[in-house]
Chain A
Amino acid sequence: MKKTIAILLFTLVFQAVIGQSCNTKNVAVLQGSYIPMYNDTSNVEIDVEQFNMDVTAVTNQQYLAFVKANPQWQKSKVKRLFAEASYLSHWQNDTLLGPNVLPDAPVVFVSWFAAKAYSHWCGRALPTVDQWEYAARADHDHPNGNSEAFKNKLLRLYESKHHNHQTAVGKGEENYWGLQDMHGLIWEWNLDFNSVLISGESRKDGSLDRNLFCAGGSLGSVDPVNYAAFLRYAFRGSLKAHYCLKGLGFRTVNQ
């Protein structure tokens, strides 16, 4: 019993310290369930436990603190296995953002390994696809934003050509949970980003992702007109864990 309390106490103190160093503002996303856009056994609701998610994506400033404390994640020192050559390529050097990088903009050009390491350093984790999708489907007033207007707005945000990774986080409207910039600013890493779409060719028989490639007319997908979701799933499917892309960053959740 004593031991348990000690561990609890330690954890609390530890998290407080960590929380400060990561400077994360986060909110609770309450327990619920959702039907993923598509799956092989359609219309099965996935339960999502309550979790706690960063209000915004991790910024350059925040990530800079991480690489200063963890030199092995600086861009000249990182192992190629964990991050390809474009890792932090927009930064001036290992510990300097440089004049072209806005400190409050989301950090991009980070690999899944790097995002995971950062989350771990903060005592947190990357959101799973289920957590992310569940949190992201909320519009301003509902946990489940299902209106045509909302879907069209999202599609508009996604299809707009321009990357917005040079924009400071926290400018977007808060959704039902109080989360900002879930759509339209950047793509975000998920812990299990490749669990749905394993390979690129997804029209092959018997695979989970067959439905995805039939897109607009997909009978297997729950909502075949949710093109914004299709775009997200397809994008995730094209990734490998060491990729570092211009429009791809992350936010964290509690462990």
Chain B
Amino acid sequence: MRKLATNLLNATAVILFISFFAFLSSCSNENNLGYFDAATAKIIGEINHPDVYAPNVPPPVKPNRGALKQIINMEVVEKVGRLADGVEYDFWTFSGTVPGQFIRIAEGDEVEFHLKNHPDNKFAHNIDLHAVTGPGGGAASSFTAPGHESIFSFKALNPGLYVYHCATAPVGMHIANGMYGLILVEPKEGLPEVDREYYIMQGDFYTAGKYGDRGLQAFSMQKALEENPDYVVFNGSVGSLTGDNSLQAEVGETIRLYVGNGGPNLVSSFHVIGEIFDKVYVEGGDMINNNVQTTIIPAGGAAIVEFKVDVPGEAILVDHSIFRAFNKGAIGKIHISGEENKAIYSGKLDDRIYQIEGGAIQVMPEVEKEPIIAGSLKEKITEGKIVYDNFCKACHQAGGKGFTGVYPPLANSSYFKGEPNKAISTIVNGLSGPIMVNGTEYNSAMPAQVLTDEEVSNVVTYILNDFDNGGGEVTPAQVKAQRK
């Protein structure tokens, strides 16, 4: 009897003890001064974090909803996927996609993170979340062999937009193969409401073959060391945000983009052609900059950009380190529908200036254009001039006069006069290294142009006839024969 009494007493003491601490912690969550301490914020509920993949994001955090425990499950999957049309790559991914799923939590939330390494995987992996305060951002606690699962938890102390990535050796290779994503820690009162939110993450890829080479491409360690990528893409592949995959918006809406850069090497000059960022949360933190044209996003960093779309058309997302956009894949589109507003913008959106830089059309998988079959020599020359003006003139200049020392002349060219196949091959296969043209040395690189056989035959015929190269006519079959 006495023993029971003692036990009861002990139990009461324990309960009192616990309540005391509960009281303490509720005080520190939001004290009399209204001061919020994320580290001690009381957890008022538990949810499973939804799996949402780029370009979409989970719904916003309700303002002042209180701190929650969030259970996040993420599976590492090594898999072959599409890097560009006809090009495959052995991706290493969080949750099967590049970038990995978007994590959206609030300041003060406690995250119970489950990292699963698929049994069919070959490598050990882990995760370093830049939003974590703790050794390695979780890397140590999440180091996981294939066929295993690691669990760790952390408290979200600092609001902001953060990168997560794999930090297993060799780190560069894990990131280069696609192991990154974004985690947003919203301030407890939430972010201001907007009409649409999208998730975009840039990454650079290093392949054994060059841009556009068909088939399964292996990782090139050498190119990665030289920081010389073949592909710079948004959301893991060329064309992930163009054509049918274009982002959608309507006139009058405010768009918020969560933009991250996985790297591994390049820093992004993020820009939206035809828009000005009304707001940039610089580097994903608290500082807001207004009226920004291009914002820099470091490898392993992020930014939040917002803009209102006022006129219909297409806003084009690019890395304004511009060859990456038009020659390596870093291009996306927002299709904006709605009423025109001539007061803000009169006339059609003219993106001709981007077409003539050589690659814009190549990377936008739009509706296949009907080939225009030119019959007569005259028609071929007329069609060829159109191709020339769109694709060649920006460098080789009007009349094919070139730019001494930089872009070789095509007029009366000692390089291919009498050998039209050399001109054809240069267009369809590209050409780099030193050549002599009309007595001047040119040591540069011309990328292969993605043009049809018909288009190439027309443009070469035009160059042969109109630029004093002795005339002649090239057939599509001749072009086909030159393709490597």
Q: Which residues of A contact B (CB under 8 A)?
A: 86, 152, 155-156, 158-161, 163, 199-204, 212-216, 225, 227, 230-231, 233-235, 237-240, 243, 245-247
How many B residues touch the partner, as a band? 35 or more
Q: Is B268 an interface residue (CB 8 A)?
A: no
Q: Is B225 an interface residue (CB 8 A)?
A: yes
Q: Is B136 an interface residue (CB 8 A)?
A: yes
Complex: chain B residue closest to A151, CB-CB: B221
**A216–B263 alpha-carbon span in the complex (Å):** 14
Partner of B140, one of A199, A235, A247: A199
Partner of A216, one of B123, B135, B171, B177: B171
**A158–B221 alpha-carbon span in the complex (Å):** 13
Q: From B22-30, B48-56, B141-149, give the one contacting chain A.
A: B141-149
Complex: chain B residue closest to A236, CB-CB: B124
Question: Does A163 contact B120, Cβ atoms closer than 8 Å?
Answer: yes
Question: Does A245 contact B135, Cβ atoms closer than 8 Å?
Answer: no
Total residue contacts A-B, CB cutoff 8 A: 110
Question: Does B141 contact A227, Cβ atoms closer than 8 Å?
Answer: no
* Residues in A whose Cβ lies below 8 Å from that of B136: 200-201, 203-204
Question: Does A233 contact B90, Cβ atoms closer than 8 Å?
Answer: no
**A155–B220 alpha-carbon span in the complex (Å):** 9
Question: Does A247 contact B146, Cβ atoms closer than 8 Å?
Answer: yes
Q: With A204-B136, A225-B225 in contact, do A161 and B79 touch (Cβ < 8 Å)? A: yes
Question: Does B145 contact A233, Cβ atoms closer than 8 Å?
Answer: no
* Residues in A whose Cβ lies below 8 Å from that of B140: 199-202, 204
* Residues in A whose Cβ lies below 8 Å from that of B142: 200
Complex: chain A residue closest to B119, CB-CB: A246
* Residues in B whose Cβ lies below 8 Å from that of A159: 90, 173, 177, 218-219
* Residues in B whose Cβ lies below 8 Å from that of A204: 135-136, 140
**A155–B177 alpha-carbon span in the complex (Å):** 14
* Residues in B whose Cβ lies below 8 Å from that of A212: 169
Of listed A233, A238, A240, residue having the most chain B CB within 10 A: A238
Q: Is B86 an interface residue (CB 8 A)?
A: no
Q: With A200-B139, A203-B139 in contact, do A227 and B170 touch (Cβ < 8 Å)? A: yes
* Residues in A whose Cβ lies below 8 Å from that of B119: 86, 245-246
Partner of A239, one of B123, B145, B225: B145
Of listed A227, A233, A239, residue having the most chain B CB within 10 A: A227
* Residues in A whose Cβ lies below 8 Å from that of B122: 158, 161, 163, 247
Question: Does A238 contact B144, Cβ atoms closer than 8 Å?
Answer: yes
Question: Does B143 contact A216, Cβ atoms closer than 8 Å?
Answer: no
Task: Mark contacts of B126-154 with chain A using CB atoms, 8 A cut-off: 1 yes-contact digit, 0 otherwise.
Answer: 10000000011001111111111000000
Shortest CB-to-CB span from A217 to chain B, Å, is: 8
Complex: chain A residue closest to B118, CB-CB: A246
Question: Does B145 contact A230, Cβ atoms closer than 8 Å?
Answer: no
Interface pairs A-B: 5 shortest CB-CB: A200-B143, A201-B140, A238-B124, A215-B170, A230-B170
Of listed B119, B142, B145, residue having the most chain A CB within 10 A: B145
Question: Does B143 contact A199, Cβ atoms closer than 8 Å?
Answer: yes
Of listed B78, B146, B218, residue having the most chain A CB within 10 A: B146
* Residues in A whose Cβ lies below 8 Å from that of B218: 156, 159-160
Of listed B79, B123, B141, residue having the most chain A CB within 10 A: B123
Question: Does A216 contact B146, Cβ atoms closer than 8 Å?
Answer: no
Question: Does A200 contact B169, Cβ atoms closer than 8 Å?
Answer: no
Question: Does B169 contact A234, Cβ atoms closer than 8 Å?
Answer: yes
Q: Is B111 an interface residue (CB 8 A)?
A: no
**A102–B177 alpha-carbon span in the complex (Å):** 32
**A238–B225 alpha-carbon span in the complex (Å):** 26
Q: Is B168 an interface residue (CB 8 A)?
A: yes
**A43–B382 alpha-carbon span in the complex (Å):** 68
Question: Does B221 contact A227, Cβ atoms closer than 8 Å?
Answer: yes
**A237–B144 alpha-carbon span in the complex (Å):** 9
Complex: chain B residue closest to A148, CB-CB: B222
Question: Does B170 contact A237, Cβ atoms closer than 8 Å?
Answer: no
23 A-B pairs within 8 Å (CB atoms) are namely A158-B122, A159-B177, A159-B219, A161-B79, A200-B139, A202-B140, A203-B167, A215-B170, A215-B172, A215-B173, A227-B170, A230-B169, A230-B173, A231-B170, A233-B169, A238-B143, A238-B144, A238-B148, A238-B168, A243-B147, A245-B145, A245-B146, A246-B147
Question: Does A243 contact B145, Cβ atoms closer than 8 Å?
Answer: yes
